[in-house]
Amino acid sequence: MEEQPYLSVIVPVYNEEKNITALLDRLYPVMTATERTFEIIFTDDGSKDATLRILREKARKLPGVRIIEFNGNFGQHMAILAAFDLCRGEIVITLDADLQNPPEEIPKLIREVEAGHDVVGTIREKRQDSFFRRIASRVVNITTNRMTGMQMSDYGCMLRAYHRNVIDNINRCKESTTFIPALAQTFSANPSEIRVAHAERAEGESKYSLYRLIRLNFDLMTGFSVVPLQLFALFGVATALLSLAFALFLLVRRFIVGAEVEGVFTLFAILFFFLGIVIFGIGLVGEYVGRIYQEVRRRPRYVIRNMYGFEE
């Protein structure tokens, strides 16, 4: 019988053929040095390059390396959730494959969990990203904390550690769109955050385009809070009151000044502004309705084609 792993490291990968070897060359010695039993689970999210072939070669040589192969691209969070369902460690660590978060930081997270914290988040020090990406990340972090009521300093850093109790609760959730760090935070009794190093991406390009980042942030804000809807409702009430006051002002002005044609373009500008607000509100409601539609269809969140290195 294979020994029960104490640590599970989960790495979602998509077209990372240039990084896999370098990642394992650094990650495997780190895990061995912990002197604890471990497993490393890679989820191949429908890679089109040689990622899967390289992983299978590594799995044959390195004990404890396991692979989940998706039959298509289901996204990073679904890749992690699939590994959550199959991992067996008491402490579960998520890690990106691009080496921007050094594997050498993992022992810090292990010590923090063993100190009694059930969720350990990380804050990237001296972040090696573009100025635009850093500013956008800061705006998202502040906005999300205000809307969800959570207190997380760096939502975008996927180097995190979770206790088995939190993983078991996450596995009970079956929603088709989610954001794992925020979901784990809702189940955490004693969360913590530590600072970790950050490096430039070793090889390849980021898989998160501007559109995908926007979509991810919509998932985060609408999946864990109804504050956007409440804010829009309050804005609607305030707009209605201001419109009523403006209508009374125009009525009084007509009696005092008389009929006039000046200000027509100002009225059109105001009309177009509020029309834009209405369209935005419809789109916001559509985001929530779309998520309800995805849930009621009950389609599989992901489809596994093959698994390598797992026991039967």
pLDDT tens digits for 227-264?
677 677 777 777 777 777 777 776 777 677 665 555 56
Predicted pLDDT at 215 = 65
Q: Any residues with CB less than 8 A from the CB of 143 and at least 6 apart, and which?
A: 221
- pLDDT level of residue 149 (50, 70, 90 thresholds): low
The yes-or-no verdict on residue 4 having pLDDT over 70 is yes
Predicted pLDDT at 205 = 61
For residues 87 and 307, the answer to whether their CB atoms sit within 8 Å is no
- CA distance to 157, 160, 218, 225, 287, per residue, from 146 (Å): 19, 22, 14, 10, 19
Q: Which range has the top average pLDDT, 268-272, 289-293, 305-309?
A: 305-309
In this structure, what are the phi and psi dihedrals at residue 11, rounded to the nearest 5 degrees? -130, 105
For residues 92 and 8, the answer to whether their CB atoms sit within 8 Å is yes
- pLDDT level of residue 51 (50, 70, 90 thresholds): very high
Q: Measured between alpha carbons, how far is 4 from 39 in angstroms, rounded to an integer?
A: 9
CA angle 276, 281, 284 (to 5 degrees): 130
Determine what percent of the chain is predicted with pLDDT higher than 70.
74
The yes-or-no verdict on residue 131 having pLDDT over 60 is no
Q: Measured between alpha carbons, how far is 102 from 23 in angstroms, rounded to an integer?
A: 9
The yes-or-no verdict on residue 172 having pLDDT over 70 is yes
The yes-or-no verdict on residue 139 having pLDDT over 70 is no
The per-residue pLDDT for range 76-115, each reduced to its tens digit, is 889 999 999 999 999 999 999 988 889 999 999 999 999 9
For residues 198 and 125, the answer to whether their CB atoms sit within 8 Å is yes
Q: Measured between alpha carbons, how far is 235 from 284 in angstroms, rounded to an integer?
A: 13
Average pLDDT for the chain? 81
- CA distance to 81, 183, 203, 215, 269, per residue, from 171 (Å): 7, 11, 32, 23, 51
Predicted pLDDT at 261 = 56
Structure tokens at 181: 């760090």
DSSP characters over 201-241: --SS--S--HHHHHHHHHHHHHHS--HHHHHHHHHHHHHHH
* Statement: 7-205+300-308 belongs to CATH 3.90.550.10: yes
Predicted pLDDT at 17 = 92
Rounded mean pLDDT, 27-45: 95
Sign of the alpha-carbon dihedral angle for 3, 9, 12, 15: negative
Q: Measured between alpha carbons, how far is 213 from 226 in angstroms, rounded to an integer?
A: 20
Predicted pLDDT at 295 = 74
- pLDDT level of residue 39 (50, 70, 90 thresholds): very high
Predicted pLDDT at 1 = 41
> What's the pTM?
0.74
Instruction: Return the SS3 of 307.
Output: strand
DSSP characters over 130-151: -HHHHHHHHHHHHHHHHHH---
Question: Bridge partners of 160?
Answer: 94
Question: Bridge partners of 40?
Answer: 9, 65
Domain boundaries along the sequence of the chain: 7-205+300-308, 227-297
Predicted pLDDT at 38 = 95
Predicted pLDDT at 234 = 73
* Least confident residue range of 77-86, 207-216, 271-280, 291-300: 207-216
Q: Measured between alpha carbons, how far is 88 from 104 in angstroms, rounded to an integer?
A: 22
Output 149 or 241, whichever has higher pLDDT.
Answer: 241
